[in-house]
Amino acid sequence: MHDKEELLKGIYIEIARCVRCNLHTTRTCSVPGEGNADAKIMFIGEAPGFNEDQQGRPFVGAAGKFLTELICSIGLTREDVYITNVVKDRPPGNRDPLPDEISACCNFLDRQIEIIKPKIIVTLGRFSMARYFTGITISKIHGQPMRRDGIIYYPMYHPAAALHQGGLRKEIEQDMLRIPRLLEELKCAEALLVPKEPPTRQLGLF
């Protein structure tokens, strides 16, 4: 098995056994995340919902269907990217995750990012956005990338927002369509940093 996949599998086992917060008392399944261990793009949502809790997979309900459509709109599949959440167990009644619950899962998410090493981290919703963008609302910052330490952090509305506010659907779709260009720009920037080999000297025959 791929080394990265083996490391991620170890984290999944830890998450399934985790009792660091009270969410473990109400979960059906933990939802660690899934996707390509070498993904260039990582999507981070907020917390599992009912369907995710039942299946142990992220974004499999109505919001997940929309996310899958968004990923397909840029020529990719779910198997090409990595999808996870800030919190790995479902909060009861789909309420917002509490600070201690987010803190309990923080180490798992940090390690997932460290293993996968994505080029772009797409935050879906305000709780994942808050990890990287502080003191600002998602309505003001969505679709505006921030580059730090070789990673582009890209805030987007949570796909579920389009289900509750139909007017946001177009904005979410447009924000998603900017991602391939960001990836290409990052690729070009990295190419400029690669030192060029000096030209090979042709040795004459004596």
45 beta partners: 85
Tell me how far the alpha carbon of residue 55 is from its chain's centroid: 19
Are the beta carbons of 149 and 84 closer than 8 angstroms?
no
pLDDT, tens only, 126-178: 999 999 999 899 999 999 999 998 899 999 999 999 998 989 999 999 999 99
Label residue 205 by pLDDT band (50, 70, 90).
very low
pLDDT, tens only, 76-118: 999 999 999 999 999 999 999 999 999 999 999 999 999 999 9
Burial track 107-137 (b if 16+ CB lie within 10 A, e otherwise)? ebbeebbebbebbbbbbbbbbbbbbebeeee
Instruction: Give the Cα separation of 85 and 101 in Å (integer).
Output: 12
pLDDT at res. 206: 32
| Choice between 52 and 202, residue whose per-residue pLDDT is larger | 52
HEC sequence for 65-77: HHHHHHHHHCCCC
Are the beta carbons of 67 and 83 closer than 8 angstroms?
yes
pLDDT at res. 150: 86
Q: What domains are defined for the chain?
A: 3-181 (3.40.470.10)
Instruction: Give the Cα separation of 103 and 80 in Å (integer).
Output: 28
| Nearest C-alpha neighbor of 45 from the set 76, 90, 11 | 90
120-124/82-85 β-pairing = unpaired
Are the beta carbons of 63 and 169 closer than 8 angstroms?
no
Beta-sheet strand order (sheet of 151-156): 34-35, 82-85, 41-45, 120-124, 151-156, 146-148
pLDDT at res. 86: 98
Label residue 39 by pLDDT band (50, 70, 90).
very high
